[in-house]
Amino acid sequence: MNLEAIERCWREETNARSPQLEEGTVTHMLTRTEADLRRDVKRRLRREAAYYLPIIAISVGSFLGGFTVNRVLGAVAIVIMLGGVVATLWWAERRLEDTPLDRSLREALTDLGLKVDAAGRAYVGVYVALFVVSAIILLGLVWWRYGAGQLFAGAVVPAALAVLWSYQSGRGYVERMFRRYQVELAECLRQLEG
């Protein structure tokens, strides 16, 4: 008996014994997976928002040394900018919760994928906006203190590079942050098709 015949017999026997899942069982498994993914993404967004809360608390805590115009302006600017990041993450989490339940599983999985992508784009957008606003404030301070001379011109290039870096690093971070969820969603959709 040759090796190919043995291998063919083994494959036929293995394929014959593989259990066939019923459509209802697969749908139930995918529904559970979709709910787990939704929960995990929401948990991840909450954790991301929690990273910014200590910075906000430290900014407000700077008033312990007394109130000065610079401290108030600095703390208010930080609270507003980082509060925008936290609000964006909170909004993305709420969007995940506001999903109608009267849809097909395919629509729910597709919608979850779109909402995860939208959350990632919003996070990158607000992250870059944070750098843009910071660059504008710092350039404004340099211009106010030293005028529009060489020092100001020298500060424009690093500010622009910081904004470009924020876009690249933000995109990379969000891609790594949501990649697992996107892969699982694509696998669920593939299983649903098959």
- The tens digit of pLDDT for each residue in 80-136 reads 888 888 888 888 888 887 766 567 777 888 888 888 899 999 999 999 998 998 888
pTM: 0.71
Question: Residue ranges per domain, the chain?
Answer: 24-193
- Candidates 178, 77, 120; CA nearest to 128 is 120
| pLDDT band of 153, cuts 50, 70, 90 | confident
On whether the CB atoms of residues 105 and 71 are closer than 8 A, the answer is no
Confidence of residue 21 (pLDDT cuts 50, 70, 90): very low
